[in-house]
Chains A and B, each alone.
Chain A
């Protein structure tokens, strides 16, 4: 059924490229958004019922890809998040319908779909090299999306992104070759590798994991190879930034998780230390840069690095800490996507991404301001949001295992980040004494929220409400499902 989905997606993107009419293309994009939601629903349903999916998704199936691509429990976890985010991003691309040239908009829509297909491939690939192919494909497709605003800055960001990530991924290929050397086999399916792991050569396993950590860590935005991330996130259209931050970083993390899973326990313990170190460096780097960043989209990008750092710290510790990481993945994806969409609306209205020049949001555009405020509370782990429970579980783990040094380091760095974020975001929302007052803004003909913006904010609000809802009530089935992910690590 995956083949049918991929072929249909390619056909729709081709159709969009041919049609070149903004309204029609937007409707097609929306249609695709609904279509992939339906598909995800069927994937989840057939996974839990252990049956073949609905016959519609089997029309083009030749079963060639079935060996490489099928759904397992990790696929289910990540595809649900990615699918929801893609729907919201495609839905909130409405502001581009009016202003973008036909050629550019059709490119944008087509590559958005291709980007989703490649993300989807990474998530459901069950073979290391197939996964590698799709990871590279995500770089290429999102590289085109970053350069959609056609400015000097976005050009620079796209180049850096494409180049740094391609080299990182080339290095991860070296890691894959080393793993194949370790297992002494040429079949690189995760299922084939797992039983061999006890006999594998630990030296090559460790070296291979090191290279894969660098390669996929580059895509996941872990410091010290995060250089592309703030540039790409700040210069891409905000819907794309939402997908980059909420979906792409996760999929790269999934690559690291899958490789960790096939390692034997002694090697895994050493490799977890590498992951832990990268996580702490990410926290450190993001806290330093957030203190001096003067651009709110870059600020959000650094906050992504921070969250991915926390996620990798949790994953490296195992047990209940890994559980907290999965919760944080959900919460971060929903929140950050929503924040990026709101920041896009703010950029549309104020025509700037400088934090200093955006003031008085609450008076001027209250709906956007309150969504931004909710997003801020969620990203900082305010009680009753999902992220709060996630971070509390991480701290609980650190306390019960008496890792005091790590606890103090993480708490201190989070505190610095909290300070940097709140200073900037509070200024944007509340401060009246800025460069402009609300009345002046109207005089400067800065437009108020129109229907288009309201629709976008509504999408963002939906995501943040979901994060809040999951914090208030987290169904026990979800909990069991995530625990099953953790137990196989």
Chain B
């Protein structure tokens, strides 16, 4: 079952490389959160039911509802419709994303003798997810897409930690999620300020006034 979920997850990464509409990026994040919810459900090894329910709910509420809500509101307020001038053509970006997915598997194959009692497919896909997030940040220009790339990296690290650290203490898991939520909230506020302060149409290119 986990394998099927992981394959759907990797398809969502390919979809990220294809789309240029900003709101479909966010929808993609919601799908990813739901898949992660189910993976956690099948993966957990925590001893008491309370902890499991708490971690599941927390994943769903923070990753699946609150973060997308903040991002959607931000998109609406700033009237961002699509990624302005994606600076790589689509066929190239899907090619690169497929290469990243393949690279994840190659790495798993490489490291295979060092990995014991870890789901190697999940390991590979989480590495690919982290790289995919970095890739989004590198090729896209809108600040909001960068935030989405950051969220994709966070999803990747979460998936990776699921493979290895089977039972995180509840308090620690809560701390991690709160950090991420506050980070996204703060990034949203800063984007709002940047949009009013700088030219609306420009993305990261307008942030170049500080240099030596």
Residues of A bordering B, CB below 8 Å? 64-65, 68, 127, 129-130, 132-133, 136-137, 139-140, 143-144, 147, 152-153, 155-160, 162-163, 166-167, 170-171, 173-174, 177, 180-181, 184, 186, 188, 201, 203-204, 230-231, 234-235, 289, 292-295, 298
Contact check: which of A127, A162, A201, A203 meets B186 at CB < 8 Å? A162
State A77–B111 Cα separation when bound (angstroms): 39
Is A167 touching B210 in the complex (CB atoms < 8 A)?
no
Task: Indicate whether B166 reaches chain A with its CB closer than 8 angstroms.
Answer: yes
Chain B residues lying within 8 Å of A167, measured Cβ to Cβ, are 134, 137, 150, 153
Residues in chain B near residue A166, CB distance under 8 A: 150, 183
Most A CB contacts (10 A, CB to CB) among B167, B176, B186, B197 go to B186
Query: B179 near A156 (CB under 8 angstroms)?
Result: no
Q: Contact at B190–A170, with CB atoms within 8 Å? A: no
Within 8 A of A (CB), among B186-212: 186-187, 190, 193-194, 197-198, 207, 209-210, 212
- Across the interface, A156 reaches (CB within 8 A) one of B115, B164, B210, namely B210
The one of A177, A231, A292 that contacts B210, using a Cβ cutoff of 8 Å = A231
Interface size class of B (residues with CB under 8 A): 35 or more
B interface secondary structure, majority: helix
B31, chain A: closest CB distance, angstroms: 21
Q: Which of A130, A136, A159, A188 contacts B194 (CB 8 A)?
A: A159
Q: How far is the CB of B160 from chain A (nearest CB, A)?
A: 5
| Chain A nearest CB, measured from B171 CB (Å) | 7
Q: Determine the chain B residues whose CB is within 8 A of the CB of A234 once the complex forms.
A: 210
A147 to B186, CA, bound (A): 11
Residues of B within 8 A of A184 (CB): 116
Measured CB to CB, the closest approach of chain A to B87, in angstroms, equals 18
Cross-chain contact A156 with B209 (CB below 8 angstroms) = yes
| Contacting pair B167 A174 (CB below 8 A) | no
User: Given A133-B175, A180-B165, A235-B210, is A140 in contact with B182 using a C-beta cutoff of 8 Å?
Assistant: yes
User: Is there an interface contact between A177 and B161, defined as CB atoms closer than 8 Å?
Assistant: yes
Given the interface pairs A130-B175, A162-B183, the reply to whether A155 lies near B193 with Cβ below 8 Å is yes
Is A174 touching B160 in the complex (CB atoms < 8 A)?
yes
Residues of chain B within 8 A (CB-CB) of A157 are 210
Asked if B115 and A181 sit within 8 Å, CB to CB, the answer is yes
User: Which of chain B's residues have a CB closer than 8 A to the CB of A235?
Assistant: 210
Contacts of A204 in B (CB 8 A): 114
Residues in chain A near residue B58, CB distance under 8 A? none
Give complex CA distance A234, B209 in Å.
13
- Chain B, 146-180, CB within 8 A of any chain A CB: 146, 150, 153-154, 157, 160-161, 163-168, 171-172, 175-176, 179
Taking the nearest CB of chain B, how far is it from the CB of A201, in angstroms?
6
Residues of B within 8 A of A292 (CB): 212
A177 close to B160 (CB less than 8 A): yes
A129 and B114 form a contact (CB under 8 A): no
- Is the beta-carbon distance between B153 and A170 smaller than 8 angstroms? yes
- Nearest chain A residue, comparing its CB with the CB of B171: A64
Q: Within 8 Å CB of B171, what residues of A? A: 64-65, 68
Known contacts: A177-B161, A180-B164. The answer to whether A130 contacts B172 by CB under 8 A is yes
Q: Judge whether A293 and B212 touch: CB under 8 Å.
A: yes
Q: Which of B114, B130, B176, B182 contacts A174 (CB 8 A)?
A: B130
How many angstroms between the C-alpha atoms of A167 and B136 in the bound complex?
13
In this assembly, does B39 line the interface, its C-beta being within 8 Å of a C-beta of chain A? no
Q: Is the CB of B179 within 8 A of A140?
A: yes
Asked whether, in the complex, the Cβ of B190 is within 8 Å of the Cβ of A155, the reply is yes
CB-CB under 8 A from B163, the residues of chain A are 177
The answer to whether B143 has its CB under 8 Å from any CB of chain A is: yes
Interface string of B102-123 (1 = CB under 8 A from A): 0000000001001110100000
In the complex, how many angstroms separate the beta carbon of B206 from the nearest chain A beta carbon?
A: 9
Q: Which residues of B contact A293 (CB under 8 A)?
A: 212
Residues on A with beta carbons closer than 8 Å to the beta carbon of B198: 152
Check A133/B176 contact, CB under 8 A, given A163-B150, A170-B150: yes
CB distance from A463 to the nearest CB of B (A): 27
Enumerate 14 A-B pairs (CB-CB under 8 Å) in ascending A order: A65-B171, A143-B186, A155-B190, A155-B197, A156-B209, A171-B130, A174-B130, A186-B164, A186-B166, A203-B114, A231-B210, A235-B210, A292-B212, A294-B212
Q: For A295, list chain B residues within 8 Å (CB).
A: 212
- B40 CB → nearest A CB, Å: 15
B190 partner residues in chain A, CB cutoff 8 A: 143, 147, 155, 158-159, 162
How long is the Cα–Cα vector from A54 to B29 in the complex, in angstroms?
49
Q: Lowest 3 CB-CB distances: which A-B pairs, in order? A: A133-B175, A136-B179, A231-B210
Cα distance, A155 to B161, chains bound together (Å) = 33
| A186 and B212 within 8 A (CB) | no
- A residues near B164, Cβ cutoff 8 Å: 177, 180-181, 186
User: Within the assembled complex, what's the spacing in Å between the Cα atoms of A235 and B207?
Assistant: 14
Q: How far is the CA of A275 from the CA of B198 in the complex (A)?
A: 39
A152: chain B residues at CB < 8 Å are 197-198, 209
Complex contact A181–B210 (CB within 8 A): no
Task: Report chain B residues within 8 Å CB of A133.
Answer: 172, 175-176, 179
Question: What are the residues of chain B within 8 A of A181 when measuring CB–CB?
Answer: 115, 118, 164
Instruction: For A294, list chain B residues within 8 Å (CB).
Output: 212
The listed residue (B176, B182, B207) touching A160 by CB distance below 8 A is B207
Q: Please tell me if the beta carbons of A129 and B172 are within 8 angstroms of each other in the complex.
A: yes
CA A289 to CA B210, docked complex, whole Å: 13
- A166 and B190 CA atoms in complex are apart in Å by 14
Interface centre among B134, B163, B175 (most CB of A within 10 A): B175
Provide the residues of chain A in CB contact with B183, threshold 8 Å. Answer: 136, 139-140, 162, 166
Contact A163-B179, Cβ < 8 Å, known A152-B209, A156-B209, A204-B114? no
Give every chain B residue within 8 A of A203 (Cβ-Cβ): 111, 114
Contact B161 A173 (CB under 8 A): yes
